[in-house]
Structure 1
């Protein structure tokens, strides 16, 4: 096979060590668990991980709006809206009347049953992650992950400020 004229055919000198790059390892673990969960949920219930996240959020926070769910589970609002539409059509979720644009959402009795049926599939991912850890290690891991999430929120806030500054410069 002949290479295109501008093709770089050798690995570069300065690259990420993919075996020790922590964000990649976390992403691979997360993606593997989500893929497994989604496949199991689709096979058994005809619903996916996004639908499960909405159901789970409403089990924790009855009356949350789609925007509140989006923020709580860190999902795009359009994806939450699509799941709410699917779950409403299946009569697993109902919308309350609030008079405003954002309507509170609630699980129906069928939605609560679906939650309880889906929960073990999601909890299996937790079991896989924590299988080789002591209770103290689990506590330390969860503390560390919450701290890291806080740093990510700070980084996102900084990025938003940088984007606003760029927008101001371009005006």
Structure 2
């Protein structure tokens, strides 16, 4: 049996408190929890969270390039490309040549992709509404402002 002294436990507790006081640590943990929740919400849909995000971006922006999706989602370009190829295999997106640049391919959402989004989207909208209610307008506005400020700081 291992014996811990009160001093050892107090020191460990203090280190845990210090770690949990780091904003970036807490944000990272929250992000993981949100991703896990979202992945659970997608269970049975045939797409993973990356695929869902890509479908949403394409639905929002219209036909767009892998590079633009990558920048918009702050995701690795290769990961976006692999996911978009899988979405194409599932019939949820199509690839088209860009009329301006023949080297560039545009990704467009298919009617099957739109239909899938329409079945999935309500659960995500409901989750956002619940978070909005939880925070209330003042906290949400403050959080949005804080996120914008931090995003600007880390992307300079």
TM range (shorter): 0.7 to 0.9
- For these two proteins, the number of residue pairs brought into alignment is 144
Equivalent in the alignment of 1:32 = 33
Answering whether residue 116 of structure 2 is matched by residue 122 of structure 1, we say no
Name which of 84, 108, 111 aligns with 1:109: 111
Q: Deviations over 1:84-116 (max 9, x none)?
A: 111101111011122522211111111111112
Asked if the contact 1:37/1:121 (under 8 Å) is kept, the reply is no
2:48 corresponds to 1:48? yes
Which residue in 1 is equivalent to 2:134? 132
Distance 2:66 2:33 in 1: 27
CA deviations 1:53-93 (Å, max 9, x no partner) are 10000011011100100000000011101111111011110
The corresponding residue for 2:76 is 76
Change (3 A) 1:14 1:32: closer
- Give the structure with the higher percent helix: 2
The answer on whether the counterparts of 2:97 and 2:104 sit within 8 Å (CA) in structure 1 is no
CA drift at 1:124: 4.5
Describe the shift of the 1:14–1:87 C-alpha distance in structure 2 as closer, same or farther (beyond 3 A).
closer
- Displacement of 1:14: 7.8
Q: Secondary structure at the match of 1:115?
A: helix
Deviation at 1:15, TM superposition (A): 8.2
Question: Runs of at least 4 residues of structure 1 off by over 6 A?
Answer: 13-16
Counterparts of 2:138 and 2:118, CA distance in 1: 28
TM-score (norm: length of structure 2): 0.81
Q: Which sections of structure 2, spanning at least 5 residues, go unmatched?
A: 3-10
Tell me the TM-score normalized by structure 1.
0.75
Higher strand share: 2
